[in-house]
Amino acid sequence: LNSGDPRSGFSHSEVVEFINEEVLSNGGGPDFYVAYSSKPWSLVEDRLRAILSDPRVPRTIKRACTWSALALSVRALSRQRVLHARRVRRLQEQVAQREAATWALAFELQRLLEEREEMLLQLGQTQDDLQKSLHEREVLRGQLLQAKRSAQFNPPSEEVDCGPRAQQQCATAWPQHAEEQ
């Protein structure tokens, strides 16, 4: 176990030295640690179990391998902590992106709702204007029909003075092209 290795998971050199002393004093060496330092924890634990279960392996070697496995478990935990921190950062970035997108969508929704409200007001005004125009048309149509009926029952007499003033009054009462309208 190297005290300068940041991947070891240990931050105090005294702890690393103690573990190394325990491994060496029990007849072990760096072989177990080096062989399994890049392996997943499940393989380390399986190998340690095999060593501890083997009655031919001396107790001191079992202790040395156990200390190495302890160091490897801290290393694995440290590696997991780094991976977890990366995942957390990535998730935080995704949350920030989603939050920004949510705010943008909320702003767009608000804009569209306001636009819709404005369009509804315009539509209402247009419908009111159309109703007024239709009403005016009906009133004018009624007046036109009444004028036509009046002209049928009261035709202008031929004896009427058709001087310039009378012609003007006739033109006002009955336009020349009234039938075309």
Average pLDDT over residues 141-156: 86
Q: What is the pTM of this model?
A: 0.51
Residue 181: the pLDDT is: 45
> DSSP assignment of 32-101, as one string?
HHHHHTTS-HHHHHHHHHHHHH-TTS-HHHHHHHHHHHHHHHHHHHHHHHHHHHHHHHHHHHHHHHHHHH
Which residues have C-beta within 8 Å of that of residue 40, sequence separation ≥ 6?
76
What confidence tier does 139 reach under pLDDT thresholds 50, 70, 90? Answer: very high
Greater confidence, 78 or 90? 90
- Which residues lie below 8 Å from residue 32, measured CB to CB, with a gap of 6+? 47, 64, 65, 68, 69
pLDDT of 172 > 80? The answer is no
The percentage of the chain sitting over the pLDDT mark of 70, rounded to a whole number, equals 78
Q: So what's the pLDDT on residue 164?
A: 59
Instruction: Give the per-residue pLDDT at 78.
Output: 84
- Give the pLDDT mean for 49-67: 90
Predicted confidence at residue 111, as pLDDT, reads: 97
Mean pLDDT over all residues of the chain?
83
Q: Indicate the range of 41-45, 97-101, 120-124, 155-159 predicted with least confidence.
A: 155-159
